Amino acid sequence: MSKRTVYYIEGDGIGPEVWGPTRPIINAALDKAYGGAKTLDWQELLAGEKAFKATGEYLPQATLDTLKTADLAMKGPLQTPVGKGFRSLNVTIRQTFDLYACIRPIKYFKGIESPVKRPDLVDIVVFRENTEDVYAGIEWSSNSPEAKRVIDFLVDEMGAKIDPTAGIGIKPITPAGSKRLVRRALDFALEQNRESVTLVHKGNIMKYTEGGFRQWGYDLAADDYAGRVVKEGEEADGKVVINDRIADAMFQELLMRPEKYSVLATTNLNGDYLSDALAAQVGGLGLSPGVNMGDTLAFYEATHGTAPTIAGKDMANPGSLILSGAMMLEHIGCGEAADLVRNAVEKALADKKVTIDLSSQIGGATTVGCKEFGEIILANL
Ligand code: NAI
């Protein structure tokens, strides 16, 4: 019998409600698939409001210490406390544990209303670099002494032309950071028999950052994946094809020819836009799962926020967290249980008894609460 420990953070707002059905559904799927031979040991960690009430800290050291030893964790949404001096807990967790790959699979669920004609053609996994780019947090406001100093340096010593009132932001992108992200995408494509990996970048304009990302991706494929990965235009013969697209063209491609794309590997800001746009394209923002991964820790999470206006009202859709749980099952080699979870969600949507965010998107649907929606999915297992 195998037992894996999963650390979980309930989260703020609708967090406790969406967790309500999630653990029973994941446990039941494992039980059904393996008859007790594979189980999970769920261990709660404190973060957010619940942690603040218990310890006076939003992200207690004990939580960080435990996560240092963990390889598997799941979280509900965490509120970013409003006011100066508070960093987003999500960003702190990502940076502390170097969770450099944000992975979001986007696929259509039958019956959901979508803004495009053929949402069913979308079956794409986005690998977004999570630690670099303009998200590095290196910026100075317009007219600040720091911005002025940087501008003076750039004008006087580097010959740049910049308006002295400009706000300044820095966009660092490294070969190592790019390569470890692209490596994840290539490994995934090879493991899952995916046709292609597309490097998405804006290298025509930002040559040494976005263009660097593209080049380092190709270098990695040539150096470490020779014989298994070929470039677009070469004979594929069952191998994974690596190609690249400029980000603005990619948005058009995903709307017009999504079936041509399978795995995207991209920089932080592009990935942020692309993953939300693709999720909206299939009508599934509320159902969209995700994971942030480092070399040791994989942290699965609902991709939505704390939805404060509906918190405590039994209205939240638990689908995103439940489907993130399915991703986790797949990751730990429990693909059969993952399929059971996805099929149970799919059946609940087909039966049209869904939470309010979805009932407004599905013709003829009946609205049920978060709890009942969870019970329906559990019964479908
Ligand atoms: P949000 O995702 O909480 O809400 C956006 C809209 O979607 C709202 O209308 C909300 O009611 C609805 N919604 C979200 N999740 C839903 C669900 N599961 N079922 C039904 N409806 C749902 O985004 P917002 O309002 O920008 O952020 C609220 C708080 O959440 C902020 O403090 C923000 O920092 C935090 N946040 C946390 C994230 C995380 O922990 N990964 C991600 C995004 C936001």
pLDDT digits (tens, 9 = 90+) for 161-174: 999 999 999 999 99
Q: Is the CB of 294 under 6 A from ligand 1?
A: no
Cα–Cα distance measured from residue 100 to residue 212, given in angstroms and rounded to the nearest whole number: 17
Atom index in ligand 1 nearest the CA of residue 307 equals 3
pTM of the model: 0.94
Measured in Å, residue 305 CA sits from the centre of ligand 1 at: 3
Average pLDDT over residues 134-150: 93
Residue 245: other Cβ atoms inside 10 A: 20
174 CA → ligand 1 middle, Å: 31
Beta carbon of 317 within 6 Å of any ligand 1 atom = yes
Confidence of residue 80 (pLDDT cuts 50, 70, 90): confident
**Ligand 1 atom with the shortest distance to the CA of 304:** 2
Please state the rounded mean pLDDT for residues 347-369: 92
Q: What is the mean pLDDT of residues 11-34?
A: 97
What is the per-residue pLDDT for 33?
A: 98
22 CB near ligand 1 (under 6 Å): no
Confidence of residue 86 (pLDDT cuts 50, 70, 90): low
User: Is 97 or 111 the better-scoring residue by pLDDT?
Assistant: 97
Most confident by average pLDDT, 84-93, 119-128, 132-141: 119-128
Return the pLDDT at 286: 78
310 lines ligand 1 (CB under 6 A): yes
Measure 357 CA to ligand 1 centroid, in angstroms: 12
Annotated active-site positions, please? 135, 202, 248, 272
Tell me: pLDDT of 143 over 60.
Answer: yes
CB-ligand 1 contact for 90 (6 Å cutoff): yes
Q: What does the pLDDT look like over 187-198, one tens digit per residue?
A: 999 999 999 999
Per DSSP bridges, beta strands 240-246 and 229-231 are parallel
Residue 362 has pLDDT above 90, yes or no: no
Residue 81 has pLDDT above 90, yes or no: no
Does ligand 1 have an atom closer than 6 angstroms to the CB of 77?
A: yes
CA–CA distance, 190 with 10 (Å, rounded to integer) = 34
CB-based contacts of 376, cutoff 8 Å, min separation 6: 348, 351, 353, 368
Binning pLDDT at 50, 70 and 90, where does residue 356 land? very high
- Using a 6 Å cutoff on CB, does residue 289 contact ligand 1? no
Q: Which of 5-9, 98-102, 236-240, 338-342 has the lowest mean pLDDT?
A: 236-240
Q: Partners of 243 in the beta sheet?
A: 198
For residue 69, the model assigns a pLDDT of: 96
> Confidence class of residue 84 from pLDDT cuts 50, 70 and 90?
low
Ligand 1 pocket test target in 12, 291, 304, 315 with most atoms within 8 Å of CB = 304
Rounded to the nearest angstrom, the distance between the alpha carbon of 164 and the centre of ligand 1 is: 38
Q: Does the pLDDT value for residue 14 go beyond 90?
A: yes
By most ligand atoms within 8 Å of CB, the mutation choice from 18, 112, 275, 306 for ligand 1 is: 306
Confidence class of residue 85 from pLDDT cuts 50, 70 and 90? low
Largest CA distance in the chain: 71
Separation of 321 CA from ligand 1 center, angstroms?
13
Q: pLDDT tens for residues 280-337?
A: 999 877 789 999 999 999 999 998 999 999 999 999 999 999 999 999 999 999 999 9
Confidence at 353, pLDDT banded by 50, 70, 90: very high
Task: Say if ligand 1 is within 6 A of residue 306 CB.
Answer: yes
> Are 287 and 109 spatial neighbours (Cβ–Cβ below 8 Å)?
yes
Q: Whose CA is nearest to atom 26 of ligand 1?
A: 305
pLDDT of residue 1: 67
* CA 349 to ligand 1 center in whole angstroms: 21
pLDDT band (50, 70, 90) for residue 360: confident
Whether 88 has a pLDDT exceeding 90, the answer reads no
Average pLDDT, the chain: 95
Say whether pLDDT at 124 is over 70: yes
